Amino acid sequence: MQLVSQGGPAPRHLFVIFGATGDLSYRKLIPALYHADQDPKAHEGHAILGVARAALTDEQFRIAAAEALTQSGVHKADAERWANKTLFFQSLGESGPKEYQALRTRIETLEREHKLPGHRAFNLALPLPAFAPTVERLAEVGLNKSPGWTRLIIEKPFGQDLSSAKALNDLIHKYYAEDHVYRLDHYLGKDTVQNILVFRFANSMFEPIWNRDKIEKIEITVAEQLGVESRGAFYENAGALRDIVQNHMMQLVALVAMEPPALIEADSVGNEKVKVLKSILPLDKEHVVFGQYGKGMMGNEVVPGYLGEKGVAPNSNTETFVAAKLSINNWRWQGVPFYLRTGKRLAKKATRIVVTFRRPPVAMFDTYGSCVFTQNRLELLLQPDEGFNMTVDVKQPGSGLHLQTQRMRFRYAEAFGKLPEAYQTLLLDVVRGDRTLFVRSDEIETSWELFDPVLQNRPELKQYASGSWGPQEAEDLLVSRGHQWTEI
């Protein structure tokens, strides 16, 4: 069992990035590791080894990494100083046994030179098809074991469907124990997502009303204004359900709906999340809407539809929008619909959870005729403008009894300043040995059990205009049940 870290320093270690010359590495991983190093209490020291097929020297990799850091806002001299001190590179060339044996030799050499005790973290910042062969090659040369600890970091997606997810988990478990595997979903590294647990379980005013008796519906929206941009070829093999719903959104559902864990630690939290996922009823086809964006207006600009994007097949049936109604069949949530929606080229960029509470049982103020009151809502704003809103009705000043809805608000930026990047939090947790914010194999497989039938029997694709909130059928999904999406 891995206990939650208390922020103490991690031991000296070697951090190895596979796919070190890729976009994820330069844009997210290297900046996260740089900023983590600015905290002297983060760890006791490390070296970072970039690994890729490219034939780069240490110096060339350092120059490229420093440039990426500079573009992210780090002062050039600071970026170069850190890169020269911390970064190294090993080419894998054709990625055969000879190259992996050379990698092992380089790792052992760096550990001797930097007096590292053999603690190793391997981050696979690679496309999904490269996961399995990389894991196998590491094991073939004995790099699944070490004098200290060995931790394997797997980036999403965790499979393309249930069978591929199970096959990947089985392969990983052949060489690594589950508590050595860190499946990274960057949403879980966001402070606003972690705050869901704090909000629910550290504030006694919410837990007594967090159930079917007091809550009418819950909405989760992950909306993007951007289209697929240069990722059309990738998106053709993914789609919105695989890219967002099956992983990010189901993690949010689990955190909102889970029972209080015995402890805030990896196994206790993971057990409660799995219970939620196993309680979700199979999805009826009429409760799922697939959409694909067409051309439209984003601000003052006319943008193309999905079929006009580079790398997209002219007759593509890939969904860029998903809306769904989930039903959780347990004591707490029986009868409370969870409405999910995500899409590209929507009207606004926003990730938020809206909890709508039931109306008072007796509408006593209706006797005054002009008294109109709304339902109380709690809005958890995960990005952007991170924080929360709470709406309540108050009496307007003056004679008569007139109600007005007012919003109470909290914003992280106003209270704490800039929040750390999710990757910074998660990578530090890896080297500290804290798996609380990572995804277990049974979570992955249980989620895929829910969505595999949807992919096998896909709903009819509906078109929507760029700059809208998706197809009309997503609105009808709620209207038919007497609800509507909360305005964002």
The residues annotated as belonging to the active site are 248
Instruction: Count CB-CB contacts under 10 A for residue 222.
Output: 25
CA 479 – CA 154 distance, rounded (Å)? 40
Write out the two tokens for 59.
């110096």
CA 18 – CA 24 distance, rounded (Å)? 11
Strand order from edge to edge, sheet including 288-294: 403-411, 387-395, 377-383, 350-357, 215-223, 337-343, 321-327, 288-294, 461-465
Strands of 157-234, DSSP E: 181-184, 215-223
The crossing angle, in degrees rounded to 10, of helices 128-140 and 162-175 is 20
Q: Fill in the amino acid letter for 312.
A: V
CA 88 – CA 56 distance, rounded (Å)? 10
- The maximal CA–CA distance of the chain, rounded, in angstroms, is 86
**In Å, what is the CA distance from 173 to each residue of 75, 144, 155, 179, 235?**
42, 11, 16, 10, 29
| Residues 15, 123 contacting (CB under 8 angstroms) | yes
